[in-house]
Structure 1
Amino acid sequence: MALAVSTASAQSAAEPKANENAGIEEVIVTAQRRAQSLQDAALAVQSFDTDTLTQSGIESATDLGLLSPALGISAGGGPLASFFVRGVGALTVNPLTDSAIAQNVDGVYLGRSSGAAGQALFDLERVELLKGPQGTLYGRNATGGVVNYIPNKPVLGENSGYMQAEVGNYSKLGLQGAANIAVSDDVAIRISGNKLERDGFSDDGTNDQDSFGLRGQLLFNASDKLSIRLAVDHSEVSGKGAGGDLYGTYSNDTGSLSEFTPTGLPIDSGPTDAGANAIRSGILHTPSFAPFQPIDGEDLYQDISWTGFSAEINYQTDVGTLTFIPAYRESEQDYQFSGPGFAPAKTAEENNQTSFELRFATDLDGPLNGILGAFHIEEEISTSTVFAQNYASPIQNYDNGGDSWAVFAQGTFDLSETFRLNAGVRYTEDSKFVDGISDTFVTFCGGAPFTGNFLTPGPPPFNSFANGCASGAMPAQPVTSDRDAFIQYFVDEGLIAADSVADIPGRGRPPVYNFNLPGGVPPTPGRNPEPILGAIVNVGDGELAADLSYSETTYRLGAEWDWAESNLLFATFETGYRAGGVDLAVGPASTYDSEFIDAITIGSKNRFMDNTLQVNAELFLWKYDGQQVTYFTTLEGASAFPIANADATIQGLDIDVIWAATGSTTFGLNVQYLEASYDKLALISDPGKGRFGCSSNGVSDDVESYDCSGSDMLYSPEIGADLNVNHVIDLANHQVSLTAMVSHRSEQQTNFLLLEDTKSDSYTTLNLDATLYSGDEDWSVSAFVRNATDERFSINTNVSNRGLAYAIFSPPRTYGVRFMASF
């Protein structure tokens, strides 16, 4: 059992399976934009029904990484969730960065990966995970795969529903329910809701849960051929949000930046723990040479909401079905998080998207059938953020967005009753814009560097460092994303000249604001009448202004052979594409290139032993060209998030087995062997400031580069395995369903610094669930333990430019009871 779980089998272990004739139930998916058996879908796809999600403790999209060896998720502050499939993914740290894993809610594409945080996983029919590029049917930003969230839909002529309550440790209370109402023979409504509250796993209250969601749908069969389904959803997330533990510090001595010292602080101490703050306060920020300030837990919060409106209109003809999906989604985000020691990082963001998809799926009698379609999306985003670090404040205020449109077609031609060829093609045009200002205010000990006063020792008493920089006299910067309010704060405090304004960097010499504090460097005749203890310099990118356009044709080729009645062999070649864009590195409107991926898959899906044994297997080889790698570094003395383009090779084997051993016992096993490493990856920093686990290529044009070729890709464990065992016991008029789920992952990298101590250790976890069902199955009571062995592993690591290393860890052991009643 220590090998792992096949939740991938989509078996609903929470429902009793005992029957006279053991057999594996059919699972229907829509991964290829039409309903078909999972066993008939010639692609790598996993499906998880709502019972599997519940038993696994999946409460939000950020938990989905626990379900599959192929899927990894980095959960940062607020809604910053980054998805990876077999190492293919992106750290989506701001709305300028697109996700490499496409996510769709009820058939509607989410333009921003932060939208995943608003998906409360309740009243779902299933979640589908498509592994590998899906450039034809799903298009751009699906280079690594697709996650589809598919809700239960209204049912005509049926009045039904359910209520579910769950209580557990950490003061957990979860309530959800749904009602299906038959308004008439041709009209039905489904209303569902979810409320979840849980104390923080960390002692300081971080890593808590406080969410609320509602979904409403109306289905109208206007005629035998025309159906219209309208949907609206709204979700909110509050509380403190994610917070990392200070698990270690790195040396700040040049040449020893990768030397690591564990703090010894316990897991779940939290970022605002007294011990963590004591260590933090002993670290000097540079170039201010002032000690970092403690992090205050009262400064951490999140207030985020998402709202969506959509329709699905289906019109059936004699030759196929026409589907039209118009949609509008918006979000408002206000949150502050600590990240790698941010003090804190503050974000206010509003975004909206409008999208349309039109598809025609043929249903012809001849050998050729397929799908034709067109897609368009337009996004508008307004962002105001500051990644405050006490004495350095990168402030960005900008609008960005753009639009994308595509046309696509995919078809299958039956050469015989058992052999088929399929092909698909998609043409995409993307346009992106950004317009705003990027400031980076940095406090310097002494005067600005170009004045020659930076850390000038001078004869006593004119010595900036000795006279106060390291003594706490240097004022910390305010946490505000308003550039004018930032400068006004220092004016109001009497710390800088009363007529100071926030100048835009990049227009000549960097704007400098000298402190009115005693001590420091000697007066400069004709320039500085008083000694200067310190100065604030705006070394930011300046005006962000760019209009970019990209286009690409992606395609798919495949062959399928039914070598027996319940046995399929297939081979595919598919390409994927993600457009380039603008990053917040150094220099006005720095841009990065598009990325591309080619994927070869050979797979087989099989049923044996009178439908009691299912064996699916997949061999895959992916070539990644120009992966957009977002990483944290130091450039021109300030923190930066540049984007590099890297090449990689990903290959491996995936085996998925389900065995209905008896009418009451089912086993599931999913094992993945993966080799995912970079063929070419170069990262940069200021000379001597790069804290990378890679060799230096030396310094050129005042920038040091590092060769990280051969490094493992993020969230790509060599061995991943899941094992699921379910046994049903008949008790007179009741049944008991017993489920054990074991998951194992070998060590995996979680940070593009690629350091040994930013890796997540290998782990094995165990979930247990026991459910008592009534004879007519209209109620059930469950007792559960998740992570029964209390195995902890890092799911996200962040390291500040001064070596403070924080990690967010997986949930501890949790337990509770669940009651469900249906009607």
Structure 2
Amino acid sequence: MIYWHKSTLALFGAASIPAIALAQSAPAPANMPQPSGTASTADGAQPGAGEIIVTALRRSDSILKTPAAITAITGGDLRARGVVNLSSVQNVAPSVNIASGRDGLQIAIRGVTTTDTSSKGEQDIAFSVDGVNIGRGKARAGAFFDIDRIEVLRGPQGTLYGRSSTGGAINVITNKPKLGEFSGYLNAEYGNYDTKRIEGAINIPLGDKVAFRASASANDRDGYSKPIDYSPTYNGTLYHFASGEARARNDQKDATGRFSLLAQPSDDVTLRLTATVGHQGGAGSAPALETELKAHHDTGSAALSILTNPVPAFLDNNFQQYDASLNWKFGGVQLDVLGSYQHMHYRQQAPSVQDVAANGGGVVNETFMGPGSFGPTFQFYYQQDLVKTVQGEARLSNVNPGHVDWVAGVNYYRENAGENGQSWNALIDDPLDPSAYTFQAGPVNKTVHKAVGVFGQATFHLTDTLGIVGGVRYTHDQIARVGTFALPFNFAASPPVPYPDENGDAICHYPDYCVGAPNNGGARDNKVTWRAGINWQLDPRDLIYASVATGFKAGGFNDYDPATGGIGAYAPEQITAYEVGYKGRPFAGLTLSSSLFYYDFSKMQVNSGSYFPNTSTFALYTQTVPATIMGWENELSWRIEKTTTLDGSFTLLHSRFRDFQAGEYAFTGDPVSFTGRGLDLTPSFVVTAQLSHVIPMGEGRSLTLRAGTKYSAGYYLSDYADGVRYRQPHFTRSDASITYEFGGHRYSVSAFVQNIENKVQRTSMIGYANGGFPYGGDNTTVPSNLPANNLAFYTTDPRFFGVRASAKF
């Protein structure tokens, strides 16, 4: 069982899982502006003009005839709009916010997101690459390359996607090998922060029925969070650390390759084998100090400054993914089988960048002193994780449209996460001496997530224009953790007294770890989710749909539960969602999607830290609380004339907790009420617009001008342990580019700028439990015993600008 003293919890973060790199496509070969729903022929389907074919509902169909709230964006449009990774999808898709942090990326769609980023936590948004689920936040942070399209589904996907999709799903579909075609492309980019990007692909036919495709991407960019001089004072002694003693953080150093073989022995059988291998390096991420953000008005790299910590920072992530898919049509039925194996070895050393006010009274960078202070130290986090994931799915569906269109299947998922994340202290007098590092706290666990699902969904066509949708899924979900958690100090003693490790040593030695108390736990759930809906095709151009759908995220266990005095299970997350929408072309040149939705969360999982007086401990604790979210979303694409297109969206969103008591002392009779307050990352109003204009120049040449902007109302970020919130003010984020195509549109050169305003936005909060004192948000008074450089936030990127060149053959 785990017990945390609150000082340790403040410094200790849950272990993370490594990242898989994704992919970015070549630019679209047309000389006309194309809306987000631009033509794609994925899975052999033939779209209509200006439409994209999606497979989000496990069938190939036009996005305008798919009765769900979906945004689909082609790879060429992603690249033209500067979407180079998952984090930047929030700039182009409605109701999407991405929170970054040490534990990777956390996706929020319509305000639904996870608050437990530990290895036992689950996601609320399913994320997949070519149908393969990527389950952990740090496994979602890689670069995009060689992409056909992305699909963003909003709303619970409990029937077809199952677990961990209460808020929606994001699917990345990469370019597949093409039969009978020798082709390829090469893209290069150079920009500020000494950014160098290169990617390319080659497609090679191997006879009439086999093709091979190889693609690769490499990115090298300096960090934009730069250290500043740091001069702490402790017990009358002044220390000084120059900015040159630490690396700039939030850099990018990665390389990834994907190799795919496609065989089509007949028109009815297709087999694809894919291997993806890559590495991520650099110094890793870091939050920005709130004092620096405010001092520089949230503008530019200076606002992202960090305090110098001489302990070396590094990221070392090696990953491989192997997947195979089979598509076989027989007797009017199609069989789709997908299997995958992922292997990820992740190492990270993340030195802290903040000040902390210790109970002993000193102020130094991440000082760990506790009762009976034993001196000033730099704190850092060292993580070594090995994660192996096996998953598979088999589906049957009808090939030809009929009175009933159906899909049914089974799937299996097993993630074995070896978690080893340790917090350490380096003496401030000699921070580069590993022999003097002292162990602080950390788990050594193996956590296994297993899930088995059986599902089916059908559309019954009552008439040529009216259809009824029904779907159901049964899921068995199980989590089991075996390991230890070491906290080698007796906080009741003064000074702290370390207990021996497994070798009898009083202090563990870096980079080894202490073996502590047993840290075992487990939970299992069985859940049925369902969907019911109606589709009315008014005419070939206009669709109205309505649906009621349920979703769930698996339950889990708390390391300490006041009801049991030990391990205690918490319930699965449950949602019932109501939605009505329209898709169509109300008049020539305009494509419009609009939907109204209402979410009823009977149980929403919220993770926080709480103090339990009967054991004098501070532990992470997950509650299930009721909440509601409602909104109105709209997307449009208007071809004003042949060479000019306007794409845009606007969203209204409202959320609230119906009953939620939080705060460090929630279980001591002094909680902080969040009842009636809105959820994090839910701006009340967001509007986006992008204007594209092509100037034809003849002889296969053209000039394309693009300009886009996003306006967002403010939103909140919460520290539930301290019961406080910080409000990110409203903001705009604008981009622009100019592209010259020539040589029959086989070559192009672009100049671009992203985030013209050079403003950054806070996406997640890093704070510390501090005796119940609030330090911002609703109460803007910072307590005197909390240093100014304590509060920090992960943010969006500052301004990027540069040039791109592309060649296709």
Q: Same fold judged by TM-score > 0.5?
A: yes
Choose the corresponding residue for 1:188, options 211, 221, 230: 211
Whole-Å separation in 1 of the counterparts to 2:297 and 2:439: 28
| Contact 2:478/2:524 (8 A) holds in 1 | yes
What is the CA distance between 1:363 and its match in structure 2?
2.7
Partner of 2:592: 615
Q: Deviations over 1:76-130 (max 9, x none)?
A: 12x5221111111103422111111011111112233332124x21000011110
Superposed counterparts of 1:185-224, under 5 Å: 185-204=208-227, 205-224=248-267
Larger Rg: 1
Partner of 1:595: 573
Whole-Å separation in 1 of the counterparts to 2:387 and 2:514: 26
Structure 2: 5+ residue stretches without partners = 1-24, 40-47, 228-247, 355-365, 367-378, 427-437, 771-785
Choose the corresponding residue for 1:722, options 683, 688, 693: 688
Whole-Å separation in 2 of the counterparts to 1:203 and 1:328: 38
Partner of 2:605: 628
Partner of 1:114: 138
Choose the corresponding residue for 2:716, options 749, 766, 769: 749
Partner of 1:576: 551
1:489 has 2:507 as partner: yes
Distance 1:332 1:761, change over 3 A: same
What is the CA distance between 1:729 and its match in structure 2?
0.4
Matched residue SS, 1:616: strand
Whole-Å separation in 1 of the counterparts to 2:439 and 2:726: 24
Whole-Å separation in 2 of the counterparts to 1:71 and 1:485: 49
1:413 has 2:426 as partner: no
Partner of 1:28: 53
Choose the corresponding residue for 1:604, options 561, 564, 582: 582
1:93 has 2:117 as partner: yes
Partner of 1:424: 471
| Contact 1:335/1:347 (8 A) holds in 2 | yes
1:320 has 2:333 as partner: yes
What is the CA distance between 1:741 and its match in structure 2?
1.1
Choose the corresponding residue for 2:347, options 300, 322, 334: 334
| Contact 2:651/2:686 (8 A) holds in 1 | yes
Partner of 1:372: 408
Whole-Å separation in 1 of the counterparts to 2:642 and 2:534: 35
Whole-Å separation in 1 of the counterparts to 2:224 and 2:503: 35
Partner of 2:762: 794
| Contact 2:96/2:107 (8 A) holds in 1 | yes
Q: Deviations over 1:440-473 (max 9, x none)?
A: 34475xxx35xxxx5xxxxxxxxx8xxxxxxxxx
Distance 1:332 1:11, change over 3 A: closer
Choose the corresponding residue for 1:356, options 363, 379, 392: 392
What is the CA distance between 1:423 and its match in structure 2?
0.6
Partner of 1:555: 530
What is the CA distance between 1:590 and its match in structure 2?
4.0
1:661 has 2:640 as partner: yes
1:732 has 2:692 as partner: no
| Contact 1:676/1:716 (8 A) holds in 2 | yes
Whole-Å separation in 1 of the counterparts to 2:116 and 2:528: 24
Partner of 1:289: none
Whole-Å separation in 2 of the counterparts to 1:577 and 1:183: 45
Deviates more, 1:633-642 or 1:341-350: 633-642
Distance 1:262 1:330, change over 3 A: same
Q: Deviations over 1:784-806 (max 9, x none)?
A: 01111212211222102245211
Distance 1:24 1:670, change over 3 A: farther
% same residue: 25
What is the CA distance between 1:559 and its match in structure 2?
0.4
| Contact 1:271/1:338 (8 A) holds in 2 | no
What is the CA distance between 1:502 and its match in structure 2?
6.0
Whole-Å separation in 2 of the counterparts to 1:381 and 1:368: 42
| Contact 1:340/1:805 (8 A) holds in 2 | no
1:776 has 2:744 as partner: yes
| Contact 2:268/2:330 (8 A) holds in 1 | yes
| Contact 1:720/1:744 (8 A) holds in 2 | yes
**Number of aligned residue pairs:** 692
Matched residue SS, 1:789: coil
Superposed counterparts of 1:202-601, under 5 Å: 202-204=225-227, 205-248=248-291, 268=301, 273=306, 276=307, 295-296=309-310, 298-338=311-351, 341=354, 343-364=379-400, 366-388=402-424, 393-442=440-489, 444=491, 448-449=492-493, 454=494, 484=502, 488-489=506-507, 504=516, 542-584=517-559, 588-601=566-579
Partner of 2:233: none
| Contact 2:279/2:318 (8 A) holds in 1 | yes
TM-score between the two structures when normalised by the length of structure 1: 0.79
User: What is the root-mean-square deviation in Å for CA atoms of aligned residues?
Assistant: 3.1
| Contact 1:657/1:670 (8 A) holds in 2 | yes
Choose the corresponding residue for 2:81, options 49, 56, 76: 56
Whole-Å separation in 2 of the counterparts to 1:11 and 1:648: 42
What is the CA distance between 1:677 and its match in structure 2?
1.5
Distance 1:327 1:718, change over 3 A: same
Whole-Å separation in 2 of the counterparts to 1:654 and 1:181: 43
Matched residue SS, 1:313: strand
Whole-Å separation in 1 of the counterparts to 2:503 and 2:51: 61
Partner of 1:817: 803
Partner of 2:146: 123
| Contact 1:440/1:638 (8 A) holds in 2 | no
Q: What letter corresponds to residue 59 of structure 2 in structure 1? A: R
Higher RCO structure, 1 or 2 (CA under 8 Å, sep 6+): 1
Distance 1:217 1:642, change over 3 A: same
Q: Deviations over 1:505-541 (max 9, x none)?
A: xxxxxxxxxxxxxxxxxxxxxxxxxxxxxxxxxxxxx
Whole-Å separation in 1 of the counterparts to 2:323 and 2:153: 23
Q: Deviations over 1:626-651 (max 9, x none)?
A: 21212345556666432221211010
Partner of 1:509: none
What is the CA distance between 1:717 and its match in structure 2?
0.8
Structure 1: 5+ residue stretches without partners = 1-9, 250-259, 278-294, 455-463, 465-473, 493-500, 505-541, 688-696
Distance 1:801 1:364, change over 3 A: same
Q: What letter corresponds to residue 699 of structure 1 in structure 2? A: T
Matched residue SS, 2:392: strand
Q: What letter corresponds to residue 809 of structure 1 in structure 2? A: T
1:764 has 2:764 as partner: no
Partner of 2:90: 65
| Contact 2:552/2:572 (8 A) holds in 1 | yes
What is the CA distance between 1:235 and its match in structure 2?
2.5
| Contact 1:659/1:668 (8 A) holds in 2 | yes
Choose the corresponding residue for 1:651, options 624, 630, 641: 630
Partner of 2:43: none
Q: Deviations over 1:263-298 (max 9, x none)?
A: 99986458884xx46xxxxxxxxxxxxxxxxx33x4
Distance 1:715 1:172, change over 3 A: same
| Contact 2:286/2:353 (8 A) holds in 1 | no
Whole-Å separation in 1 of the counterparts to 2:108 and 2:419: 25
Distance 1:192 1:265, change over 3 A: closer
Q: What letter corresponds to residue 737 of structure 2 in structure 1? A: D
Distance 1:267 1:731, change over 3 A: closer
